[in-house]
Amino acid sequence: MKSKSYACGSWVEGDPRGAEVRDAVNGKLICNVSSAGLDFQKMVEHGRFIGHASLAAMTIHERANAVKNVAKHLLTKKDYFYKISSQTGATKTDSWIDIDGGLATMFSYSGIARREFANETFIVEGPPEPLSVNGTFAARHILTSKKGVSVHINAFNFPCWGMLEKIAPSLIAGVPVIVKPATVSAYLTQAVVEEIVASKLLPEGAIQLICGGVGDLLDHLNEQDVVTFTGSATTGKKLRCHPNIIDNSIPFNMEADSLNCSILGESVCVDDPEFGLFIKEITTEMTAKAGQKCTAIRRAIVPATKVNAVIEALKERLNTVVMGDPAAEGVAMGPLVGRAQRDDIRDTVTALGRHCEVIYGGNNAPMDLVGDGIEQHAFYPPTLLYCGTPLTTDAPHSIEAFGPVSTIMPYDSIDQAIAIACMGRGSLVGSVVTYDDHEASQIIMGAAAFHGRMLVLNRDCAKESTGHGSPLPTLVHGGPGRAGGGEELGGSRAIKHYMQRTAIQGSPTSLMAITREYMPGAKTSSTDRHPFRKYFEELLVGESLTTHRRTVTEADIVNFGCLSGDHFYAHFDEIAAKDSLFGQRVAHGYFIISAAAGMFVDPAPGPVLANYGLENLRFVEPVHIGDTIQVKITVKKKIKKDKRPEDKSPTGVVLWDVQVSNQHRVIVALYDILTLVERKHL
């Protein structure tokens, strides 16, 4: 296999004298990786001008669909990626986490974007902000695509997921990507990018790849660019201090390896299901990806009275772990990614051993490896250490062995457990294993400030729990302090990370024209034709209808109460209503919105196919017997939907602003309704 980079629309082979990358299982040479010959300035310009121009012209839904289609294509090549992945030392389960997990994240982000954002090239964020007494001056917040590139510098342990979870939100945001994988596993990332390019599902310049060093790449970035980094805290700090990043205030998101902890609750007994869950979780996090996970459990915090039971249970469980060639039958743990990583862990365990006791595994532990043609250069056994004084010994809270290594630490009280957890000085994730919710609450509230994510694991959620070490697309992934101080994933937050948030001020009518969303105070328009008789394309944002009037009677209240079963005193008890905050009987709020629907709906069949939602309902003022109501509906926002094979006709969603007023022109109810409206054209 030849190492190649993809730059400015062409594949460029690396220097054959570049860094040697070997198969983690048998030590055979896979390729030499080098970025020599790449013009990094041209790569940045290619993404900035060619890639960005194409992505910026696409709507968010179009970009999201492109990401979904890329994921579908990559799914057909999964077996090919699995074969390559095994060379990194990954078992089938490890590869599933990396490859399938990455593709699932792409699908997830495509869905998030199409559900949460309008089909525009920009995002309108939050409600209008009134800035004046008479409503003639207001503000909105919008997010637009940064006019640059996003540079993704990724770690070696997840060559697929690490890339895909970053490029998906960036591309949906309209920002082209330059991917720089870690050298030791770059060949797998390269294989995925080759398929992405070959699919031609993304516009030219949307993705570029650097296999090898970044050279002077960071020197050519500016204030419109973004850099994200995943890897060691030491490397991340060096990159974050790059003069050009500092001078141009270039956004730099860092997700660093951290000393994550799992706490066994003080209330847990050895015979409880939670004890077994704790042992299973520790073992899984030590052996999945051979412990090479930024979220792996490095510190197991255990009640002092249960330390011996935990140690014995972990030893028994680890004794069953079969190591060897990931392709061999029954192998649950493969090698580390390479010899250099093995040597680094040996040195780190030696350093930890000066302050802690090695109680299982270690540098000199024998390994019975399964499989043929295995070279032991990258294998390292699951290793447990014990630190009896975690409150006074800093080493296990500051030295990380990035492999199948975990340290057991005792505590005497919940306050001590919290203090030990926080000594990691910032973690990506922490977990609490307990069936006592009060205990869980105490630990979470005490330690949450030091963690980006916290899991409470017990018998109720265990079967469906994704586990301690699994970042999810919808949840924030990152953490304070040592963990880097950044955030990835987190649903729509990840997409917004690559966009510029701008506050815009002006008249409501001007803001409506810019955002393509109606807001109170903006000028409206109307025609003789009922808006429910119009197709999606014919409706204009700001188009409104003011209905006829209706006087609310006592019979309305009685009939609605009988129909709904709602006989609340304020509607039926004259004496109680008089003593209440209303002062007299009032109409049901839900009668008001039901009556309003009857006033603004055109009953005949037409382009409006369905009303499938009501949002932001507020009953502002009471409606009394004898009050007269009137309704004004206004097209607030339009969202064009993609036509699915099962759809009879193309449609769009229209969000309507609804205002119900009384005879004094005082608003009594406010809400939004959503209707599915037929489109004339695809």
For 362-418, the pLDDT digits (tens) are 898 888 888 888 888 889 999 999 999 999 999 999 999 989 999 999 999 999 999
pLDDT of residue 152: 94
Q: Is residue 481 part of a domain?
A: no
User: Is 505 contained in some domain?
Assistant: no
Choose among 452, 454, 496, 457: nearest CA to 476.
452
Which pLDDT band, with edges at 50, 70 and 90, does 235 fall under? confident
What are the tens digits of pLDDT across the range 594-633? 999 999 998 888 899 888 889 999 999 999 999 999 999 9
Q: What is the mean pLDDT of the chain?
A: 91
Cα angle 468, 470, 475 (rounded to 5 degrees) comes to 105
- The distance of Cα 486 from the centroid of its chain, to the nearest Å, equals 13
User: Is the residue at 484 inside a domain?
Assistant: no
pLDDT at 544: 93
Same-domain check for residues 275 and 247 = no
Instruction: Decide if 541 is inside a domain.
Output: yes
pLDDT tens digits along 543-560: 999 999 999 999 999 999
Q: What percent of the chain has pLDDT over 70?
A: 100
**Enclosing domain of residue 554:** 524-678
Residue 297 shares a structural domain with residue 365: yes
Based on the fold, state whether residues 542 and 595 are members of the same structural domain: yes
pLDDT in tens, 631-676: 999 999 998 888 778 778 888 899 999 999 999 999 999 999 999 9
Write out pLDDT tens, residues 497-507.
999 999 999 99
- Which two tokens mark 292? 């090479």
**571 pLDDT exceeds 80?**
yes
Q: Report in angstroms the alpha-carbon separations of 534 from 528, 603, 607, 635, 658.
A: 11, 13, 6, 12, 18
Q: What are 133-191's pLDDT values in tens digits? A: 888 999 999 999 999 999 999 888 888 998 999 999 999 999 999 999 999 899 999 99
| pLDDT at position 486 | 86
Q: Euclidean distance between the first and final Cα of the chain, in Å?
A: 45
Q: What is the pLDDT of residues 249-278, one digit of tens each?
A: 999 988 888 899 999 999 999 999 999 999
CATH number of the domain bearing residue 565: 3.10.129.10
Residues 450 and 567 in one domain: no
Angstrom CA distances, 89 to 27, 161, 167, 339, 371, stand at 11, 16, 25, 12, 13
The CATH number of the domain holding residue 12 is 3.40.605.10
Residues 216 and 313 in one domain: no
pLDDT score, position 642: 80
Shared domain for 200 and 266, answered yes or no, is no
**Secondary structure string (H, E, C) spanning 458-516:** CCCCCCCCCCCCCCCCCCEEEECHHHCCEEEECCHHHHHCCEEEEEEEECHHHHHHHHC
The two three-digit tokens of residue 491, written as one number: 């649903």
% pLDDT > 90, the chain = 66
Q: Strand, coil or helix: what is 445?
A: helix
The mean per-residue pLDDT over the stretch 14-18 comes to: 82
Residue 30: closest CA among 73, 83, 108: 83
3-state secondary structure of 536: helix
* 280 and 223 within one domain: no
* Whether residue 594 sits in one domain with residue 650: yes
Give the model's confidence band at 240: pLDDT under 50 very low, under 70 low, under 90 confident, else very high. confident
Domain membership flag for residue 21: yes
> What DSSP line would sit under 367-428, residue for residue?
--EESSS--GGG----EEEE-S-TTT--HHHH----SSEEEEEEESSHHHHHHHHHTTSSEE
Tell me what pLDDT residue 337 has.
Answer: 86
Residue 450 is classified by DSSP as G
Same domain, 31 and 152: yes
Whether residues 320 and 244 fall in one domain = no
What is the pTM (predicted TM-score) of this model? 0.87
Any domain includes 657: yes
Clarify whether residues 192 and 299 are in a common domain. Answer: no
Task: Please report the pLDDT score of residue 646 as a whole number.
Answer: 77
Catalytic residues: 255, 294
How many CA atoms lie within 13 Å of 131's alpha carbon, on the beta-carbon side? Answer: 14
Q: What is the pLDDT of residue 654?
A: 92
CA nearest to 544, candidates 600, 488, 485:
600
- 675's enclosing H/E stretch is strand 667-678
| Predicted pLDDT of residue 611 | 87
Q: Are 479 and 425 contacting, i.e. CB atoms less than 8 angstroms apart? A: no
Q: Is residue 515 part of a domain?
A: no
Compute the distance between CA of residue 85 and CA of residue 69 in angstroms, rounded to an integer: 23
Q: Which two tokens stand for residue 174?
A: 């309209």
Type of residue at 554:
E
Model pLDDT for residues 510-534, shown as the tens digit of each residue: 999 999 999 988 999 998 899 999 9
Render pLDDT for 55-102 as a digit per residue (tens, 0 to 9).
999 999 999 999 999 999 999 999 999 999 988 988 988 898 899 999
- The CATH number for 412's domain is 3.40.309.10
**pLDDT given at position 573:** 87
Give the per-residue pLDDT at 15. Answer: 81
Residue 681, pLDDT score: 66
The answer as to whether 513 is a domain residue is no
Q: What is the pLDDT of residue 406?
A: 95
Query: Are 466 and 328 in a shared domain?
Result: yes
Per-residue pLDDT at 210: 94
- Residue 606: is it exposed, middle or buried by C-beta count within 10 angstroms (0-12/13-18/19+)? middle
Tell me how many domains the chain contains.
3
Q: Determine the pLDDT at residue 560.
A: 93
